[in-house]
Chain A
Amino acid sequence: MKKKKLRFGLVGAGHMGKTHMYNAKKISTIELVAVADKLKTNRHKAEKLRVPHIFEDYQELLEKTELDAIIIGLPNFLKYDCIKLAAENNVNIFIDKPMALNMKEVYGIHSLLQKYNIRLMVSTNFRFFPHVEKLKTQLDNGMYGNIKIATIDHIMHGPFSHPLVPKPVPNWWFDKEKVGGGALMDNGYHIIDLFNWIFPHAKLISAELGYHYNMPFEDNATVVLKSKETDTRGVLNAGWFSHVLFPALDFRIIVHGSVGFASTDDLRPNFYINAAKVAIKNFLKRIAFRSFDPLEYTYYFISYVKSLKSFEECLRMDEEFPISFESQLEVMKLIDDIYKGYEREAI
């Protein structure tokens, strides 16, 4: 029996929003019915994808379109207002991390979700990397015994990654009030979430923030956490300072247990071999008129598809999201504690 499609809208078709837009169009159980974006160039992308309803203002999108959920791909400082309006219009929400600028907004969102009885899932797509999923399964099965120490690194160029067709980094990325934080809030969020997911109930031991680029917010961070549940200590490194070129990805989890050690570097597929295999598979699916997941050939962008798919499936089946709101509240709290407790050295 064919599954009924859920009606989705998308707000913010910029860098991340565009990825979600393409993915939503490809997922057979999602009907992307509306997109809203202030920029004409972004609306044009939606037109090319034949999205039926396109708006400049998301308020109009929410008022005029009947939706089951929206995908929010807005800059951090615009997220709260959009979440509020979505909640008031009884629309469920799929949103990129971080869900808000600060804890005040997070608690506000929590109240909104309860008041309007709507559901929200934060897309922390790193959980869906194939090599992370493999490691998690191995750890859950006790393959390495009790894990005493784990390190998680994610170093990249952050918002300053130079695309193939050069365009300026949006000004809001340079404004502390609008971005909410630097590398800790950005890719640091992912690795804190990963640690808290694999080794639950993490508490903060210490943190150090770095300011390599002389900006008013950090561009690198080292955080030490400890899991209250597994007693695992984690050393997490996040940074925006490295000029890493696609398809390289400077990310890894290394665990040291009572029975050996493991690294996600050993579990990840070879980029080019994976790309070739998936390309052939998808070509065959295409000629057989079968659907396929977008961007699977990059082995890590597929994580966005999996994240969106899991949101859609759980929404449809009225099941708990794999990424709970409470877990994201814990991550935001840890980040907030680091910002509050850390005394920045004078530049």
Chain B
Amino acid sequence: MTIVINQTSNLSKEGISKITNETINKFNIDWENRETFLIKVNLCYYWDYSTGETTDPRLVESMIHYIKKKTKDEAKILIGEADASAMKTRYAFPMLGYTKIAERNDVKLVNLSEGNIIEETMSIGGKKIIISYSDLFRTSDFIINVPKLKYHRLPGVTCCLKNYFGAIAKPRKFSYHKTGDLWRAIVAINKAITADLNVVDGLIALGTHPKRMGIVIAGDNNLEVDHVATRIIGFKPKQIAHIKLAEKEFGKVDQKEISHLKKDIKRLKKEFPHVHHTLRNFIWNFELFGVKLYAKIVGDVIPPMIE
């Protein structure tokens, strides 16, 4: 298993291209026998890359150039994302700059909620769960998972494993958010399909606020990469429910595999804009509870956006 961290202060087109090449070059990939490449991005909502919420199209474009160079322009490249509870890819792709990339580079954008969908019933943590995904995850020769390096209020961390939750074909994924089902769904989809390469977009990382960190973390094992990302964000992997459940399912991460990155992780952890997860969640839940309690007792109305 290989895992690398690279960092750059140059976020120009050339800078991003350089860090992408340097990162992917570290992996021994058989480019010649691959015809179809699927790049799974994170377009969770209509927030552009500068918010730190969605995959940076500049990174994806440099990956496309890299793949084309390695495959002598013969490979078919797909950029994929599934519809979400509040997001439709047919709007997100143009709004977030992906339509332009696709047109410029002659690659295809695919909605992973459409086309041939495979449905599977899996047993995770002793309970059954049904998940669905595009058959492109089966038919593509090489899958690159490109998650964000970001804090998330619910799980604490969203990275490789959580980005695959976004690959579930069913748009209304919010239904999994009942406690317990979300973690099982994340692990289930990662059990069903896996990426050949995970390239974490930390060019603009997201904690309390977005920060231009210029990081790219890459690895062929999503759990190992998530361990590294989690530590940078400021958590211990065992604190993250879906990572804990994934390790029960797939086996614990051998810390020797990531020990060579200890110094980098320590340094980047200091740079990352940390969130006090417990305090933030407490304040958020307290405010929400307070508004709902007040509205119930007094008979007032809750503002539409938090209803």
Contacts and interface: CB of A to CB of B under 8 A. Distances in A.
Real binding pair:
yes
Nearest to A160: B46
A168 B297 CA distance: 31
A163 interface: yes
Interface string B269-307: 000000000000000000010000010011111011111
Contacts of A174: 91
A19 B94 CA distance: 31
Nearest to B83: A168
Interface stretch (A32-40, A202-210, A229-237, A295-303): A295-303
B6 interface: no
A166 B87 CA distance: 9
B53 interface: yes
A166 B100 contact: no
B300 A294 contact: yes
A161 B47 CA distance: 10
Interface of A is mostly: loop
B100 A168 contact: no
B86 A166 contact: yes
Query: What is the size category of the interface that chain B forms with chain A?
Result: 20 to 34
Interface in A164-196: 164-169, 174
A243 B47 contact: yes
Nearest to A21: B301
Interface stretch (A84-92, A257-265, A278-286, A326-334): A278-286
Nearest to A16: B304
A292 B300 contact: yes
A214 B47 CA distance: 13
A283 B297 contact: yes
A22 interface: yes
Given A214-B94, A279-B294, A246 B306 contact: yes
Greatest chain A CB density within 10 A among B53, B86, B97, B300 is at B300
B95 interface: yes
A174 B91 CA distance: 8
A283 B298 contact: yes
B151 to A, nearest CB: 14
A7 interface: no
Contacts of A301: 303
Interface of B: 45-48, 51, 53, 84-88, 91, 94-97, 99-100, 174, 288, 294, 297-301, 303-307
Given A246-B303, A246-B305, A295-B303, 12 more contacts: A19-B301, A162-B86, A164-B306, A166-B85, A168-B85, A174-B91, A213-B46, A213-B94, A213-B95, A214-B94, A215-B94, A298-B303
20 contacts: A15-B304, A19-B301, A23-B301, A160-B45, A160-B46, A163-B307, A165-B307, A168-B87, A169-B86, A174-B91, A213-B46, A213-B94, A213-B95, A213-B96, A215-B95, A241-B48, A279-B294, A282-B294, A286-B298, A301-B303
List the 9 closest A-B pairs by CB distance, nearest first: A166-B86, A166-B85, A213-B95, A294-B301, A160-B46, A22-B301, A164-B306, A286-B298, A282-B298
